[in-house]
């Protein structure tokens, strides 16, 4: 079974209905459900999303939206080895490095993010939702 690691920016696009990005994210999720592709994100993403939604809206909305997204995705944990690899990496952004090595250690091959340039140090395949949808359309 194929699985995708979803960065927090993609999930925030959906939960906050950030146009024009939310439509691609919704389509990505729909296609994944239709084709049996399993969606994952990191514990860090959940924490970041809860914080951002809580600040923009309120804690109750953050709780509700996180519960909603947890019905769609599974969570990968971060451990000491992920942190160690992230700290030693050439990534410019520590959070992106943590996400990358969480995906690597969880044996993902693909990360879906809107900030593909932030993952130029990654050994994984990196796609925006739109790029990934175009790729699977041609398969």
Alpha-carbon distance 20 to 81, whole Å?
A: 36
CA 34 to CA 106: how far, in whole Å? 23
Q: Which among 90, 79, 89, 136 is positioned nearest to 110, based on CA atoms?
A: 136
Whether the full predicted model's pTM is greater than 0.85, yes or no, is yes
Give the model confidence (pLDDT) of 127-139 as tens digits. Answer: 999 999 999 887 7
pLDDT tens for the 139 residues of the chain, in order: 589 999 999 999 999 999 999 999 999 999 999 999 999 999 999 999 999 999 999 999 999 999 999 999 999 999 999 999 999 999 999 999 999 999 999 999 999 999 999 999 999 999 999 999 999 887 7
State which residues form the domain around 107.
3-137
- pLDDT tens digits for 97-117? 999 999 999 999 999 999 999
The per-residue pLDDT for 40 is 98
Q: Report the domain count for the chain.
A: 1
Helices 8-15 and 21-35 sit at what angle, rounded to 10 degrees?
110
- CATH number reported for the structural domain that contains residue 104 in this entry: 3.40.50.1010
């Amino acid at each position: 079974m194929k699985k995708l690691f979803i960065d927090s920016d993609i999930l925030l696009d959906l939960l906050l209905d950030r146009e024009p990005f939310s439509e691609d994210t919704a389509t990505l999720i729909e296609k994944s459900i239709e084709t049996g592709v399993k969606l994952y994100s990191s514990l860090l993403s959940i924490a970041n999303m809860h914080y951002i939604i809580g600040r923009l809206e309120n804690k109750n909305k953050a709780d509700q939206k996180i519960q909603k997204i947890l019905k769609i995705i599974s969570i990968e944990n971060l451990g000491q080895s992920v942190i160690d690899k992230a700290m030693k990496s050439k990534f410019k952004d520590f959070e992106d490095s943590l996400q990358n090595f969480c995906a690597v250690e969880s044996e993902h091959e693909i990360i879906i993010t809107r900030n593909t340039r932030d993952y130029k140090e990654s050994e994984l395949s990196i796609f925006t939702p739109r790029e990934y949808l175009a790729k699977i359309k041609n398969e």
